[in-house]
Structure 1
Amino acid sequence: MSITTLSSRRQNLLLIAGILLIATSLRVTFTGAAPLLDSIRADYGLTTAQTGLLTTLPLLAFGLVSPLAAGFARRFGMERSLTGALILICAGIAVRSLPSPTLLYVGTAIIGCGIALGNVLLPGLIKRDFSGHVAKMVGAYSLTMGGAAALGSALVVPLALSGLGWQGALLALMAFPLLGFLVWLPQWRNHTPAAVTTSRSLHDKGIWRSALAWQVTLFLGINSLVYYVIIGWLPAILISHGYSEAQAGSLHGLLQLATAAPGLLIPLVLHKLKDQKGIAIGVALMCAVSAVGYWLMPQQAVLWTLIFGFGSGATMILGLTFIGLRAGSAHQAAALSGMAQSVGYLLAACGPPVMGKIHDASGDWHIPLIAVAVISLIMAVFGGLAGRDKEIHGKS
């Protein structure tokens, strides 16, 4: 083996390690705060609505910043933009952990901006550097992201009780983006701008006029909506059916682990398929079935949690894979990723409060769960359309 080949392999492994470590920061720094919300509310005397804003604020940041990410990548390059994303996440964690209610919200918003950049740019980077292994890479970073989220959720409460307090526990989550920053830093020197096509359809504005782009967007976006409704309200749904808070919390953690599991399986299946229509419809239907299951047979909540987690996790992996498969270039992938995640997270930001209001008006969770099931059926329709073996060209 030549020295050049060995060096190239090491650089490739370092790039993959950097991608996976960035992925660990894209969920844990957000979802890791959820188990501490009661402590935060009690410490600062926040209302339920003010506490809920800590969940909604990052989703709004995702939706508003995502469309800007492709422009940053064209101007500064993907490597440097992702470095900036990690710096923002670290800075946001530091600000959020300071003893001030105002800085708690400011830091949360900064974290949301950094995560939004990472969410959008990673699919574009994978399209550019691993175009022949999109599904495998998306599966690997989805698995890593889900595993880190579950680990963070499991660790923050023990850390807070160990004497660090909730601020110290949240500050400890900086270990994820800080490690990612250190491993990713060599990519700053290896800055490789992707070619920018001159076709208008491949730029940010043109992508919004593509029917296929909208099909991918709504498949991924509706999944974000139903995922954040269930992840936000599952403990309350379970408690209303007689589960204890500890049982509900355990199932909430199980849900996050279940969303990571498809990262092992979906990439192994995709390369054997002529297109992805059938599997996209199937995993969306899993979300619909589980929502009905929570309503009709809540005593089987473990089963429905596993089914929903696998279906939603697989949908996310497929949606992110579609970004790479349907786009014709790295920058088009970044623009499509920005479009899909902007729409998806704005929908997600609306979902939990709307379903909460429906619950308050009706007095139970039946109507919200039926709504999740119906929305999941609509997601299955868009999955069938987005799963066709096509690529975005002009106004496809």
Structure 2
Amino acid sequence: MGVHHARRSDSLDAAHAAFARGGRPVLGPRPPRRRRRTGRTRHGDRGRARTAGIHGADPAAARSVARRGVAHRPVARRARPRRRAHHAETTITWLLMLTFSGQTTAYYALTTWLPTILGDQLQVDRTSAGALASIFQGVGILGAFLVPVLTRYFPTIVPAVVICVCWLVLTGGMLVAPAGFVVWASFGAIAHAGGFVVIFTALVAVARSDAEAAGMSAFVQGGGYAIGALGAPVMGYLHEATGDWSVPLALVLGISIVYCVLLLSSVAGVRRARA
């Protein structure tokens, strides 16, 4: 009883002393302060997690709060770009297919009958005619290297124009002056080798992914080779019907003109689609 009274007396004395010094008398253990509830910050739970981390809260708890905030917050989806170029790409794909068809038709029609044409027009034997016809294939290696260089340093329209001029020189020269075949064949070899490069360079330029480029390439090559396979039979039929090579060569010249128009249109379409 005396001990309890002494402890109480000491507590009262300490309280009076604190009050006398202008302080706040404390008669017992200080009750815990009630924390004010605040609304969500503009950053949500993730903002509270960052604040807790700054003020020394448990980092694991802060990450847990951030995860809960991310889980319950609706995630804004990134808007996909509109496929505004879809129609243009479809048109260009068809243009490239028709362009490739023109090249393969003219190439197969001419190269299939070239030894026979040279033998009939130049009055040479089959061996010499075959040797002359090989120029058209051999010089094509030069075109396979020359046109990529032009494509590297000039706009695509430049090698396209060069290819068109070479095709017209070949077919027009064969029709008007077959004796100059070596010159015409040299130009034509550059044309048929470089045309392949320009067509598929344009295809890759307009494709938005490797998968799309593969699909476009399959369409262009499949349609082009299917149509081009008709060139040689039609040319042979015209020769049989007329007994001369003038009409078949005029047909190849006409196909070359259409091919040039399609090639230039395709290149221009690719430039507009990429603009």
Give the structure-1-normalised TM-score. Answer: 0.45
Runs ≥4 residues deviating over 2 A: 206-209, 388-393
Deviation at 1:209, TM superposition (A): 7.5
Deviation at 1:212, TM superposition (A): 1.1
Match of 1:375 in 2: 255
Match of 1:374, as an amino acid? G
The answer on 1:244 being equivalent to 2:120 is: no
Deviation at 1:352, TM superposition (A): 0.2
Looking at structure 2, the residues matched to 379 and 279 of structure 1 have their Cα atoms a distance apart, in angstroms, of: 14
Match of 1:303 in 2: 183
The answer on 1:264 being equivalent to 2:118 is: no
Deviation at 1:367, TM superposition (A): 0.8
Residues 279-290 of structure 1 correspond to what in structure 2 (within 5 A)?
Answer: 279-290=159-170
5+ residue gaps in structure 2?
1-79
Deviation at 1:288, TM superposition (A): 2.1
Looking at structure 1, the residues matched to 244 and 180 of structure 2 have their Cα atoms a distance apart, in angstroms, of: 18
Deviations 1:333-366 (A, max 9, x none): 1111111111111111111001100110011111
Looking at structure 2, the residues matched to 294 and 271 of structure 1 have their Cα atoms a distance apart, in angstroms, of: 31
Deviation at 1:239, TM superposition (A): 0.8
Looking at structure 1, the residues matched to 231 and 89 of structure 2 have their Cα atoms a distance apart, in angstroms, of: 25
Match of 1:252, as an amino acid? A
Looking at structure 1, the residues matched to 89 and 242 of structure 2 have their Cα atoms a distance apart, in angstroms, of: 39
The answer on 1:217 being equivalent to 2:97 is: yes
5+ residue gaps in structure 1?
1-197
Looking at structure 1, the residues matched to 147 and 234 of structure 2 have their Cα atoms a distance apart, in angstroms, of: 32
From 134, 140, 144, the equivalent of 1:253 is: 134
Q: Tell me if structure 1 keeps the 8 A contact 2:175–2:249.
A: yes
Match of 1:145 in 2: none
SS in 2 for 1:211: helix
Deviations 1:248-269 (A, max 9, x none): 1112222111222112211222
Looking at structure 2, the residues matched to 309 and 377 of structure 1 have their Cα atoms a distance apart, in angstroms, of: 17
Match of 2:108 in 1: 228
The answer on 1:360 being equivalent to 2:254 is: no
Deviation at 1:296, TM superposition (A): 1.6
Deviations 1:126-165 (A, max 9, x none): xxxxxxxxxxxxxxxxxxxxxxxxxxxxxxxxxxxxxxxx
From 200, 203, 209, the equivalent of 1:329 is: 209
Looking at structure 2, the residues matched to 281 and 300 of structure 1 have their Cα atoms a distance apart, in angstroms, of: 23
Match of 1:390 in 2: 271
Looking at structure 2, the residues matched to 296 and 343 of structure 1 have their Cα atoms a distance apart, in angstroms, of: 32
Residues 77-96 of structure 1 correspond to what in structure 2 (within 5 A)?
Answer: none
Aligned-pair RMSD on alpha carbons?
Answer: 2.7
Match of 1:343 in 2: 223
Deviation at 1:390, TM superposition (A): 3.2
Quick check: which one's helix share is greater?
1
Q: Tell me if structure 2 keeps the 8 A contact 1:326–1:391.
A: no
Deviations 1:26-83 (A, max 9, x none): xxxxxxxxxxxxxxxxxxxxxxxxxxxxxxxxxxxxxxxxxxxxxxxxxxxxxxxxxx
Q: Tell me if structure 2 keeps the 8 A contact 1:327–1:392.
A: no
Deviations 1:192-245 (A, max 9, x none): xxxxxx99x8xxxx8998111112222222111111111101001101111221
Per mean C-alpha deviation after superposition, the further-off stretch among 207-216 and 230-239 is: 207-216
Residues 132-143 of structure 1 correspond to what in structure 2 (within 5 A)?
Answer: none
Residues 12-31 of structure 1 correspond to what in structure 2 (within 5 A)?
Answer: none
Deviations 1:312-348 (A, max 9, x none): 1111111122221221111111111111111111111
Percent sequence identity over aligned pairs: 25
Deviations 1:277-325 (A, max 9, x none): 2421331232122112112211111111111111111111111222212
Per mean C-alpha deviation after superposition, the further-off stretch among 309-318 and 283-292 is: 283-292
Give the structure-2-normalised TM-score. Answer: 0.64
Paired residue total: 193
Deviation at 1:391, TM superposition (A): 7.4
Q: Tell me if structure 1 keeps the 8 A contact 2:167–2:187.
A: yes
SS in 1 for 2:236: helix
Match of 1:285, as an amino acid? V
SS in 2 for 1:306: helix
